[in-house]
Structure 1
Amino acid sequence: MPGHPVNGWRQPPYWRLRFDRLLHGRCHFCNGPVADGGLCPGCREDLPWITAACRCCGAPLSSGAATCAGCIGDPPPFQRTHALWQYRDGIDDCLRAFKDRGDIAMGRLLTDLAVAALTRRGLRLPGPLVPMPLHRDRYRQRGFNQSVLIGRWLGGPCLEDLVEQSRNTADQRGLDARQRRANLDRAFRLRRPPPRAVTLVDDVMTTGASLRALAHCLREGGAEHIRVLVLARAV
């Protein structure tokens, strides 16, 4: 994982380090040599991969249960969630760099790792991809929608304009699960009828409130089979 600069040595700009590592075939995390760019085998293996999870919400499970207690008591409006990593141990920093600091190369690297992992597992996602919408005001501030980029990099049909976020909600960070759901009530609006089967795409699932709200919107429009794919799952 990323190290710290040596005392007394002034670290070059972040973009220069990333460019140098890409140019000279260095691991993005440890700066060790790699044959094809990206990550060395050790850093790839050390990522917080999710190996056992709830089928519904993707939350990591330590037991052999297929569904967590939360989803049994309050089933989400989607049938299955696929999450690659736990949102910790460097993955959280990488995704914040992508979303908050505009590190597009990091977002592409993580998505490519996800595609390789999904391919090894033989996973085929049903229906076209529907990225999590971003309100136009936030889009102007950020300059991009990270979920749309992930959807494009995943490949296959991506319905970027199927749903819009019609209301600029408050920042979800710092809100509990109940507040998040209230904050997102009627926040999404369909622009046209959805396909019967879709896969929702986002960078991180925390409580799942945003994805639940989006899935409810699609179900009301006629979608019947809804899956979720996220790069990381908070625990």
Structure 2
Amino acid sequence: MPQRLVHLLQQAVDRLLPPGCAACDDPALPESAFCAICEEDSYLLPSSVCPRCALPLPLSRSPYASHNAAGGCPGCARRPFSPIGRTTAIWEYEGAVSEALRRIKYSGDLVAAQSLLNASAALISPTLRALPPSLIIPVPARPENLRERGFHLPSLLARRWAKGTHHRPALFTLRKTRQTRAQASLGLIERSTNLRDAFKAHKAHRPATSALIVDDVLTTGATLDAAACALREAGVEKIHALVLARSLPRQ
């Protein structure tokens, strides 16, 4: 998506769409992405998470997730060679947050997107203030998703989160080098192999020594790891992942 088109789309969203609940059709609470009912069904990640993969330990306060995590971090155990040093996630990928992202991804709901953009920017601001100046780089979109939705949520997040900070959005640093299958339809091993060598850092946008990779959801980490590997090959030394939501092990 051309950079000017991303900018114009964000301006239109900012000016034209009223604040509404990201998960239903009711008005949102002040400074929240959700109405009162949906706010009760959204779960901010606790402070006690694994710093490398953002998995809560113990796992969750929501009724959706398993509560037995023994013997270290199960998220890191599945990704022993991840080049990502730290991960910051805002919500658990459950309940109202899951519904909001479903609306955005499959219905193109820009009201839901705007509500999440504004609320998440405030919530992630303390993390961004504490980090050294970096490029904020979205994970590239699958071309068919761009054609279908007309916008790319990680790019909108990267631009919104960088606003008013000492970080700089770099929306086209990464590009996809080949077609891949949709990650949601694949198992754990298939997700990793599906994205192997699928990203490359664009020569005209070689990143600095520190980068913040943005995606909407962290599930297995395969997408973020593949993107981080491309940045590492381009010379990035420190990589921090930023995501809206962290998927948790099921019961």
Q: Normalising to structure 2: TM-score of the pair?
A: 0.74
Greater relative contact order (Cα 8 A, min sep 6): structure 1 or 2?
Answer: 2
1:227 counterpart (240, 244, 247): 240
**One-letter identity of the residue aligned with 2:180:** T
1:58 counterpart (42, 54, 57): 54
Equivalent residue for 2:123? 117
2:172 counterpart (161, 178, 195): 161
CA distance in 2, matches of 1:137, 1:40: 32
SS at match of 1:76: coil
Bigger radius of gyration: 1
| Alpha-carbon contact 1:167-1:187 (below 8 Å) kept | yes
1:200, distance to aligned residue in structure 2 (A): 0.4
SS at match of 1:90: helix
Equivalent residue for 1:9? none
| Alpha-carbon contact 2:21-2:112 (below 8 Å) kept | no
CA distance in 2, matches of 1:221, 1:62: 36
What per-residue deviation string (whole Å, max 9, x for no partner) do you get for residues 136-160 of structure 1?
3432233221110111221342111
C-alpha RMSD of the superposition: 2.8
Q: Normalising to structure 1: TM-score of the pair?
A: 0.78
Bigger drift between 177-186 and 139-148 goes to 139-148
| Alpha-carbon contact 1:108-1:150 (below 8 Å) kept | no
CA distance in 1, matches of 2:176, 2:149: 15
What per-residue deviation string (whole Å, max 9, x for no partner) do you get for residues 187-234 of structure 1?
111112211101000111110100000000100110011001100011
Give the 3 Å change call, closer, same or farther, for CA 45–119 of structure 1 in structure 2. Answer: farther
Gaps of 5+ in 1: 1-21
| Alpha-carbon contact 2:20-2:112 (below 8 Å) kept | no
Give the 3 Å change call, closer, same or farther, for CA 30–141 of structure 1 in structure 2. Answer: closer
Give the 3 Å change call, closer, same or farther, for CA 43–93 of structure 1 in structure 2. Answer: closer
Give the 3 Å change call, closer, same or farther, for CA 70–106 of structure 1 in structure 2. Answer: closer
Aligned ranges for residues 74-223 of structure 1 at < 5 Å? 74-119=80-125, 123-126=129-132, 127-156=134-163, 157-192=168-203, 193-223=206-236
SS at match of 1:62: coil
1:45, distance to aligned residue in structure 2 (A): 5.6
CA distance in 2, matches of 1:62, 1:202: 24
Give the 3 Å change call, closer, same or farther, for CA 230–26 of structure 1 in structure 2. Answer: closer
CA distance in 1, matches of 2:107, 2:130: 31
CA distance in 1, matches of 2:157, 2:128: 19
1:112, distance to aligned residue in structure 2 (A): 1.6
